A = this chain, B = another copy of it.
Amino acid sequence: MSQQRKIVVIGGSAAGPKAASRARRMDLRADITIIQMENDLSMASCGFPYYVGGVFDEREKLICTPTGVIRDPNFFKNAKDIKALTNTEALSIDRSGKTVIYKDLKTGVEGTISYDKLIIATGATPRMPPVKGLDLDGITTLQSLKDADYLRKVRDEGKIKKAVVVGGGLIGLETCEALQLAGIEITVIEMMPQILMFLDWQLAKILENNIRNWATNVVTNNAVTEFLGTDGKLTGVKLANGTELPCELAVVAIGVKPLVELAEKADIRIGSTGGIDVDEFMQTSDPDIYAIGDCIEIPNLISGKKVLAPYGDLANLEGRVAGENAATKNVARFPGTLQTGVCKVFNYQAGTTGLSEAKAKEAGFDPIGVVTASPDKPGFMGGLLVISKMIADRKTGKIIGFQCLGPGDVSKQVAQAAVAVKGGMTVDDMVNADLPYAPPFTLAIDPLIAISHALQNKMRGLFTGISTVDVKKKLDNGEEPFILDMRGPGEYDTMRLGIGEVLMPLGALRKRENELPEDKDTEIICYCKISLRGYEAARYLQSIGYTDVKVMEGGIMAWPYPREK
């Protein structure tokens, strides 16, 4: 029998334990050790916001198996025969000697462990803004279980009334919801012109408007320049525009930075994004060392560019691949990411897969996108709105990106699209997709198929779309297109844009042709609530000779600006 293989995993959060467990199943004789700096192992860190917000109260659920066994060193020993050294820091890697020097953080005692294969899963650390006052009490992140404990205590004590969340990304927005559930008044502060940079601006703005409905303010295009305090305690933040916001708590969530110091010191190649460079086997520049999780960079499958993708699901998939390869040989592959993501923010969900239109252009594609709005189910089953944007590559017809948000079942829409993008499917493929239909779950034409129809129509030139953003720009520039709202008077009374539109219900269009512009070259913009009727009207207007008819995509539901009503 060959010698027992020694596998060492540095990092015990998500990717590391997954790699160790997979390695164990692939090589039942291997000697496997996890070195973990923290006290806990395999924490459900994506669950922290829900524990903080009180969605559940049992802290142990964050560190237990589904059947209630704590995932501590005993569990790993007994169930998986994996040694886990917790509260232990890996100090350095000696690649020539193939050892790791570590320190027991409780005793201060150092030790050396040798490896045949090493897996680095050192994770990432929260970025902090380079401003004054960062050391004040009341400033935290939501990255570690310690952070979660701190914020849960804040919630349970109920003393803090005002907080800011610095950063409008996924974690920032989840934290915002958690703190609002805890009864705290929140302001989200985002340096960029929009929250959730994975969305195109228009969709991000619609989400932002909804967040404001929940007694929360959102400030974009503005940054914290100083944390203000008295007696070492946070009392407020100062913004770039001079505003001062009083608050007793600030949660910083402006992203994370891969923790690569250990790898860097060992001369393992670091990529241009700052993550450890790995190939599809998760192998680093040293063939005996793999790296996985938030500390690495991986290819975006659409653009081909290396990106940082610090997502919990990918950490698991990468861990599975590295664990197998370290235990056997390079057989398993992890090809890369679509940077798929989703989050819940109050009654809305927002998600994405693949590239946004902006990112697609950056990556050299000639993208064509369309925005639609639709209920997720029939009205009689309580359907809720989803606003979607699908992006295709004009050259190949392939779907290269999809975004979605709204109170409806966004996560399903994004999931379906993520499989389509992964499968390299074209818009034409999705036009006739055979999805599971029954009224409790979706429409006879699922929103994802409907947007495929719309994009196919647009690619074939059946209509010319215009985004709500471009309509607003035209109006702001003093242009005067002829604008038609194709809804009924009752709908108009309840809700309307008030941008100089003429109300002309679709059913009256043919009778009221005399009210249309005489000049057939006049620019006409049609819309309705979701622009299905707007599309029908546009087709008709084209047929009677109008040469410049546009459909405002997504209709009123996709209008990110204030309405008259």
Whether B507 lies near A75 (C-beta < 8 A) is yes
Mark each residue of chain A from 313 to 353: 1 if its CB lies under 8 Å from any CB of chain B, else 0. 11111001100000000000111011111111000010111
Q: Does A227 contact B (CB under 8 A)?
A: no
Interface 9-residue window, one of A184-192, A232-240, A436-444: A436-444
Interface 9-residue window, one of A143-151, A271-279, A425-433: A425-433
List which A66-82 residues lie within 8 A (CB) of chain B.
66-67, 69, 75, 78-81
Whether B434 lies near A340 (C-beta < 8 A) is yes
Chain A contact-residue range equals 35 or more
Residue of B at shortest CB range from A170? B438
Interface 9-residue window, one of A129-137, A410-418, A517-525: A410-418
- Looking at A375, A409, A425, A438, the one whose CB has the most chain B CB atoms below 10 A away is A438
Q: Does A290 contact B (CB under 8 A)?
A: no
CA distance A422 to B433 in the complex (A): 7
Which residues of chain B are near A449, meaning CB under 8 Å? 317
Contacts A14-B444, A28-B540 known; A435 to B412 CB distance under 8 Å? no
- Looking at A66, A69, A343, the one whose CB has the most chain B CB atoms below 10 A away is A66
Whether B58 lies near A380 (C-beta < 8 A) is yes
Which of B58, B339, B438, B488 is close to A344, meaning CB atoms less than 8 Å apart? B438
Residue of B at shortest CB range from A21? B536
Q: Does A206 contact B (CB under 8 A)?
A: no
CA distance A511 to B533 in the complex (A): 70
Which residues of chain B are near A115, meaning CB under 8 Å? none
Which residues of chain B are near A14, meaning CB under 8 Å? 444
Whether A446 lies near B380 (C-beta < 8 A) is no
Interface 9-residue window, one of A49-57, A85-93, A249-257, A359-367: A49-57
Contacts A375-B66, A412-B412, A416-B419 known; A439 to B47 CB distance under 8 Å? yes
Q: Does A197 contact B (CB under 8 A)?
A: no
Which of B44, B313, B315, B533 is close to A434, meaning CB atoms less than 8 Å apart? B313
Which residues of chain B are near A51, meaning CB under 8 Å? 380
- Looking at A313, A314, A338, A511, the one whose CB has the most chain B CB atoms below 10 A away is A313
Residue of B at shortest CB range from A64? B379
CA distance A91 to B448 in the complex (A): 39
Whether A80 lies near B536 (C-beta < 8 A) is yes
- Looking at A14, A381, A511, A535, the one whose CB has the most chain B CB atoms below 10 A away is A381
Whether B62 lies near A380 (C-beta < 8 A) is yes
Whether B542 lies near A28 (C-beta < 8 A) is yes
CA distance A427 to B312 in the complex (A): 21
Which residues of chain B are near A353, meaning CB under 8 Å? 434, 436
Quote the shortest CB–CB distance from A460 to chain B (angstroms): 9
Q: Does A458 contact B (CB under 8 A)?
A: no
Which residues of chain B are near A98, meaning CB under 8 Å? none
Which residues of chain B are near A343, meaning CB under 8 Å? 438
Q: Does A152 contact B (CB under 8 A)?
A: no
CA distance A510 to B79 in the complex (A): 8
Further contacts, 16 of them, CB under 8 A, given A67-B487, A412-B412: A14-B444, A25-B539, A28-B543, A51-B380, A55-B381, A313-B445, A313-B446, A315-B444, A316-B445, A339-B434, A340-B437, A352-B436, A415-B446, A419-B420, A419-B433, A420-B423
Chain A interface residues toward B at CB < 8 A: 14, 24-25, 28-29, 44, 46-47, 50-51, 55-56, 58, 61-62, 66-67, 69, 75, 78-81, 170, 174, 301, 311-317, 320-321, 333-335, 337-344, 349, 351-353, 375, 378-381, 409, 411-412, 414-416, 418-420, 422-425, 429-442, 444-446, 449, 453, 462, 487-488, 491, 506-508, 510-511, 529, 533, 535-536, 539-540, 542-544
User: Which 7 A-B pairs give the minimum distances between C-beta atoms?
Assistant: A28-B543, A423-B423, A78-B507, A342-B436, A313-B437, A411-B441, A419-B419
